[in-house]
Copies of this chain bind each other. A is one copy, B any other.
Amino acid sequence: MNAKFAVIFKAQLKAVDPSYHDTAARMRQKAIEDYGCLNFVSVNENNQEISISYWESEQAILNWKSDPEHQDAQQKGASRWYRNYTVEVVELKRAYSFNN
């Protein structure tokens, strides 16, 4: 199945505790196993995070957004871990790769 959409999540973290990593790992697993998330990449440098998830449809993104456990995690993110964040839903137009 090819990804047609992606969600770009960019954040400034204010504080990270063990529960942040546990929650992030659990959410990633749940998105992939239960909501059809096709791929997930995340890079973190000096409290700046970019995470991108890939999806087949916008509906799948909306389904995942409204998952109760995910909503609880978003709540915790806003109150506990993130100084600010931006979420961008995008449609993939074209892609190319290079491999050495």
Contact = CB atoms under 8 A, between A and B. Distances in A.
Interface of A: 5-6, 8, 10, 14, 41, 43-45, 48-50, 52, 58, 78, 82-100
Nearest to A93: B89
Contact of A50 (B5, B43, B99): B43
A30 to B, nearest CB: 21
A48 B43 contact: yes
Given A50-B50, A83-B100, A97-B84, A10 B90 contact: no
Of A90, A91, A92, A99, the most chain B CB neighbours within 10 A belong to: A90
Given A50-B52, A90-B91, A84 B100 contact: yes
A85 B52 CA distance: 15
Given A78-B98, A78-B100, 15 more contacts: A6-B8, A6-B88, A10-B41, A41-B50, A43-B44, A43-B45, A44-B45, A83-B100, A84-B100, A85-B97, A87-B95, A87-B96, A89-B92, A89-B93, A89-B94
